[in-house]
Structure 1
Amino acid sequence: MKAWAVLLLFAVANAKHEQYQGWKSYFVKPSNNVQLKVLGSFVEKYGIDFLSSPAVERNGLALVKPEVHEDFIKSLEDYGIAYKIHAKDVKAQLDIDDEVIETRRRESRGMKNGTIPLDNYLELEEIYDYIDYVAEQYPDLVTILHAGDTFEGRPIKYIKISTTNFEDTNKPIIHIDGGFFGRDWITPSIVLYALQNLTQSDMLDDYDWILAPVINPDGYKYSFTNDRFWIKTRSTDQHLLSGLCPGVNINRNYDFFWNTVGTSNTPCADNYAGSRALSEKESSALNGALVDLISRIVLGISLHDSGSSILFPWSHDGSLSNHAFALQSVGVSIADTIYSNSLPDFPRYIVGNSALVTGIEKSGTGIDYAHMLGIPLTYNLRVPGIEEGTEGFHLDPEYIEQVAKETWAGIVVGARRAAELFGRTRN
Structure 2
Amino acid sequence: MHIADPLREANAKMNCLFVLLFYFCTDAFAASVDVKTYSGYREYQVTGDKESLDKFEESVRRFEARFQEQFLIKRYSATSLQTLVSPELVAFFDEYVQKLNLRATLIFDDISEIIQQEKAPSLRKKGFSWSAYYDIDDIYGYLQNMSATYPQWTELVVGGESYEGRQIKGLRINTPESRTEGKPAIFIESGIHAREWITPATTTYFINQLLTSDNPDIEALRNQFDWHIFPSVNPDGYHFSFTKDRMWRKTRSKSSNGCYGADPNRNWDYNWLKHGANDNPCDYQVYGGSKPFSEIETRTLSQYISNVENLLGYIAFHADAQMLLLPYSDSKEHNDNYNDLVTIGKTSLDYGYKVNHAKYDGPATAAEVLYKASGGSMDWVRFALGTQLVYTYELRGYYFYWPPALIYQQGDEVTQMMLGLFKEAGNLGYYK
Give 1:64 deviation, angstroms.
3.6
Give 1:24 deviation, angstroms.
3.3
- Residue aligned with 2:76, SS: coil
Question: In the alignment, what sits opposite 2:373?
Answer: 362
> For 1:1-40, what aligned pairs fall within 5 Å after superposition?
16-18=35-37, 20=38, 23-30=41-48, 33-34=50-51, 37-38=54-55
TM-superposition CA deviations, 1:145-201 (whole Å, max 9, x none): 122321111111122111249953432222212111111111111111121122242
> For 1:62-211, what aligned pairs fall within 5 Å after superposition?
62-64=83-85, 72-89=93-110, 93-94=111-112, 96-103=113-120, 105-111=121-127, 116-164=128-176, 168-200=180-212, 201-211=219-229
Aligned match of 2:297 in 270, 282, 305? 282
Question: In the alignment, what sits opposite 1:240?
Answer: 256
In structure 2, stretches of 5+ residues that fail to align are: 1-32, 65-70, 213-218
Check if 1:291 corresponds to 2:306: yes
The TM-score, its normalising length taken from structure 1, stands at 0.82
Aligned match of 2:236 in 210, 213, 218? 218
TM-superposition CA deviations, 1:210-256 (whole Å, max 9, x none): 100110000000001110000011111xx321xx3211111000000
Give the partner amino acid of 2:221: M
* Contact 1:190 1:408 (8 Å CA) reproduced: no
Change in Cα spacing, 1:102 to 1:232, as seen in structure 2 (3 Å) is closer
Q: Which runs of 4+ in 1 moved over 6 A?
A: none
Question: In the alignment, what sits opposite 2:329?
Answer: 315
Change in Cα spacing, 1:22 to 1:321, as seen in structure 2 (3 Å) is same
Change in Cα spacing, 1:27 to 1:129, as seen in structure 2 (3 Å) is same
Question: In the alignment, what sits opposite 2:387?
Answer: 375
| Counterparts of 1:36 and 1:336, CA distance in 2 | 31
Give 1:317 deviation, angstroms.
3.0
Aligned-residue Cα RMSD (Å) equals: 2.7
| Counterparts of 2:392 and 2:301, CA distance in 1 | 15
| Counterparts of 1:165 and 1:176, CA distance in 2 | 22
* Contact 2:123 2:132 (8 Å CA) reproduced: no
Question: In the alignment, what sits opposite 1:336?
Answer: 350
| Counterparts of 1:252 and 1:282, CA distance in 2 | 12
* Contact 2:178 2:223 (8 Å CA) reproduced: no
Change in Cα spacing, 1:33 to 1:87, as seen in structure 2 (3 Å) is same
Change in Cα spacing, 1:350 to 1:56, as seen in structure 2 (3 Å) is farther
Aligned match of 2:269 in 255, 258, 262? 255
Change in Cα spacing, 1:217 to 1:134, as seen in structure 2 (3 Å) is same
Give 1:44 deviation, angstroms.
3.4
| Counterparts of 1:166 and 1:286, CA distance in 2 | 26
The TM-score, its normalising length taken from structure 2, stands at 0.81
TM-superposition CA deviations, 1:293-340 (whole Å, max 9, x none): 36x222221111212111112112333222221222222222221111
| Counterparts of 1:318 and 1:396, CA distance in 2 | 34
> For 1:385-400, what aligned pairs fall within 5 Å after superposition?
385-386=397-398, 394-400=401-407
Aligned length: 386
Give the partner amino acid of 1:147: G
Aligned match of 1:411 in 412, 418, 426? 418
Give 1:400 deviation, angstroms.
0.6
* Contact 1:339 1:349 (8 Å CA) reproduced: no
